[in-house]
């Protein structure tokens, strides 16, 4: 059994894999994290993908204490077999690279990945060059919070389903503007990437707010809410079971 952990800016997501299938998964809000509960399922290995370095070691220690298994950290202990064309590769968030790797393995490249969470990222993987880079814009809740915090009169608005119409009050104007504006921005960014890597490139969507964006996007977005967790499993499969496709070198980082 593999325990896969995704430490994001808003939530920590856990999934237990058996034979490549998620048999149990749950989320803990980052601000509410108090430790790892006792797991009924015995764990053989654990892998962590994190974009919050200050909590990574804490979660790792908690997992070791609860399960007896010391987790491997993606990017530190485990390499991702996807060429990274960032000018400074170490600056790329592991979540973006794992999503890119997962999408390229599951759906094949070229592929565009739209991840809608605390931030919205739109990334591209080409068939030949690997991970090309992409775009980052504020996530839906981040945009709503920014409008409230940085203005004197605009209220705090809770993210909710909206309609494609003109807002008739301040709350609807904010909600519609953020949701519809973000969907339009994502469509424009997808088009920019498609010009570079192919007009028929597949689009894979993930993240907590992807279904709301998909509703208003003009692009055909295929949703995979567990893309990153599946990417963690694929890395585990390649590193420990020796079954990675088209990548002959070991995934275990040499020290």
95 a catalytic residue: yes
Tell how many helices (H) and how many strands (E) occur in the chain: 6, 10
CA torsion, ordered 30, 33, 36, 40, to nearest 10 deg? -80
- Kindly report the number of other CB atoms within 10 A of residue 31's CB atom: 7
CA distance 27 to 80: 24
- Give the ranges where the chain is alpha helix by DSSP (H): 53-67, 94-106, 140-149, 170-197, 210-216, 227-240
Residues in Cβ contact with 139 at an 8 Å cutoff, skipping those fewer than 6 apart: 116, 117, 118, 119, 120, 209
Rg (C-alpha) for the chain, rounded Å, is: 19
Q: In whole angstroms, how far apart are CA 145 and each of 8, 15, 33?
A: 18, 29, 22
Q: Which among 6, 95, 187, 209 is annotated as catalytic?
A: 95
Do residues 29 and 10 touch, judged by C-beta distance below 8 A?
yes
In terms of Cα–Cα distance, which of 217, 221, 211, 160 is closest to 184? Answer: 217
Return the SS3 of 28.
Answer: strand
Residues in Cβ contact with 35 at an 8 Å cutoff, skipping those fewer than 6 apart: 62, 66
Active site residues: 95
């Amino acid at each position: 059994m593999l325990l896969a952990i995704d430490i994001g800016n808003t939530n920590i997501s856990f999934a237990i894999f058996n034979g490549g299938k998620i048999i149990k998964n749950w989320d803990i809000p980052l601000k509410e994290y108090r430790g790892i509960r006792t797991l009924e399922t015995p764990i053989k290995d654990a892998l962590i993908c994190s974009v919050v370095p200050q909590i990574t070691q804490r979660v790792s220690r908690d997992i070791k204490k609860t399960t007896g298994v010391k987790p491997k950290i993606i990017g530190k202990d485990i390499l991702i077999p996807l060429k990274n064309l960032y000018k400074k590769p170490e600056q790329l968030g592991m979540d973006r690279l794992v999503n890119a790797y997962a999408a390229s393995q599951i759906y094949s490249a070229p592929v565009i990945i739209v991840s809608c969470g605390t931030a919205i990222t739109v990334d591209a993987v080409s068939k030949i060059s690997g991970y090309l880079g992409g775009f980052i814009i504020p996530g839906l809740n981040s945009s709503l919070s920014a409008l409230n915090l940085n203005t004197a009169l605009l209220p705090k608005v809770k993210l909710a389903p909206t309609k494609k119409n003109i807002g008739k009050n301040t709350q609807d104007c904010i909600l519609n503007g953020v949701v519809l504006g973000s969907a339009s921005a994502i469509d424009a960014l997808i088009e920019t990437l498609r010009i570079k890597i192919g007009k028929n490139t597949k689009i894979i969507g993930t993240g907590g707010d992807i279904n709301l964006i998909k509703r208003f996007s003009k692009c055909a977005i295929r949703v995979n809410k567990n893309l990153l967790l599946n990417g963690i499993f694929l890395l585990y499969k390649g590193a420990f079971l020796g079954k990675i496709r088209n990548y002959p070198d070991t995934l275990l980082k040499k020290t």
